[in-house]
Amino acid sequence: MKKRLLKHSFSLLHVDHVDLNVKWNYKNVLSPYYRLYYIDEGEGFVYNEQQRLKLEPGYIYLIPSFTMCNLSCPSFLSQYFIQFFEESPDGISLFQNNRSLIKVQASHHDISNVKRLLEINPGRGIRRSDNPKVYEKNNFYREYQELNNLQSNAVYMETQGIILQLVSRFLNADRYPLNNPNTIPSKVLDTISYIQLNLKQSLTISFLAKRVNQNQDYFSRQFLRYTGERPLNFIHEKRIERAQYLIATTNMPFTEIASETGFDMLPYFSKIFKRVTGITPNKYRQQHQSVNTI
C-alpha cells in the first residue's frame, strides 16, 4: 500500500508567469518552502556549490525547501513559477534525503498543469519584488496563506491535485532509493518520525536506541546505513531547518528559537546553526527580513 504519500499536503504561496532580466541575480537563497519553475523562453541558471543547472525552455525544475541556491539570468528569461509549503503529520519531507536541484523534461501534461494552476489562482504573484530577501517576510506569508482560506473547496482540491502531480514528476525511485519504506527498517523510519515531532525535547543517541530496543552502536550503524547520516548530525540538521523556518517567518528572539528547537544554550545553537548553514543566525535573519521593500 502506498497510502503513506497521501499524508503529504501542500499550501500554495505564489504562482505567476514573469519575464526576468539581468536584475534577477540573487545569491544564497534558502527558503522554507519549495520552488518549481517551468521555462518557456530565454535562459537562466540555478546553482550551488554542488550543482549548476541551466534554466531552459521545455523543462520543469524543483528546488526543495531548505536547499541553498543562487539564481541568475544573463539576459532574458520567461518563467512560470510556483512556490508552496509542504505539510505532513510526521514532519518528514518527501525530499528529506535529497535536497538538491532537480531538472526534468516537461511533458504536455506538466505544462497544462502549470498554466491551469495559475488560471484558478489569479493574483498570487509576487507583486512587490522578485528579490527573495524582500518578499520572504512573515507578513507576506500570512497574507498569501489567508488567500488559501478563501479558496472554494473545488479550487483547493484542484490546487492540491495539481501540485501533487507536479511534485510526483521529481520522485524518481532510482534517484530517491532512501525514500522507499520497503528498504528502510521500520525502526529507522519510526526514529526519523520521532525526531521530527520532538525537536524541542532532549534527544540523545542512547535514548533513541533504547526507545526502539536496540544496542546503541547497532542503532547508530543502522541509522547511518539507511539515511546516510549519523543520528546526531540528522538531529542537528532537522533542528536547524526548523530554526531557519522560524527565523524567516517570525520575529521570535534567537533565545526563544533556540529553546523551541531543543538547544539549551544560545552560543551552542549559534555554533550548530553556522556549522549547518555556513552563516550565523543573525546573518540569516538579515538576509531574509532586513531588506526594504522595492
Written as tens digits, the pLDDT of the chain (294 aa) is 344 556 778 889 899 999 999 999 988 777 778 999 999 999 999 998 889 999 999 999 999 987 878 899 999 999 999 999 887 766 667 887 677 899 999 999 999 999 999 999 998 887 655 555 544 445 556 666 677 778 899 999 999 999 999 999 998 744 444 444 446 788 887 888 788 778 999 999 999 999 999 999 999 999 998 888 899 999 999 899 889 878 877 889 999 999 999 999 999 999 999 999 889 999 888 876 533 222
Q: Given this model, what pLDDT does residue 292 score?
A: 26
Would you give the DSSP letter of residue 106? P
Q: Given this model, what pLDDT does residue 248 score?
A: 76
Q: Given this model, what pLDDT does residue 232 score?
A: 95
In terms of Cα–Cα distance, which of 69, 45, 41, 67 is closest to 55? 45
Residues 173 and 97: their CA atoms lie apart, in Å, by 12
Q: Given this model, what pLDDT does residue 140 score?
A: 56
Q: Given this model, what pLDDT does residue 22 score?
A: 95
DSSP string, 194-232: HHHHTTTS---HHHHHHHTT--HHHHHHHHHHHHSS-HH
Query: pTM to 2 decimals?
Result: 0.68
Q: Given this model, what pLDDT does residue 107 score?
A: 96
* Residue 79, CB-side half-sphere exposure with 13 Å CA sphere: 27
Q: Which helix (H) or strand (E) holds 54?
A: strand 52-55
Q: Considering only the top CATH level, what class is 184-289? A: mainly alpha
**Which residues are 81's β-sheet partners?**
16, 37
Q: Given this model, what pLDDT does residue 135 score?
A: 44
Pairing of strands 102-105, 59-63: antiparallel
Residues 99 and 191: their CA atoms lie apart, in Å, by 20
Asked if 3-177 and 184-289 have one fold, the answer is: no
Q: Considering only the top CATH level, what class is 3-177? A: mainly beta
In terms of Cα–Cα distance, which of 188, 152, 164 is closest to 7? 164
Q: Given this model, what pLDDT does residue 50 score?
A: 84
Domain ranges across the chain? 3-177, 184-289
What phi and psi values does residue 194 have, to the nearest 5 degrees? -60, -45
Please write down the HEC assignment for all residues of 112-165: HHHHHHHHHCCCCCCCCCCCHHHHCCHHHHHHHHHHHHCCCHHHHHHHHHHHHH
Positive or negative torsion for Cα 205, 31, 26, 114: positive
Q: Looking at this protein, which amino acid is placed at residue 210?
A: K
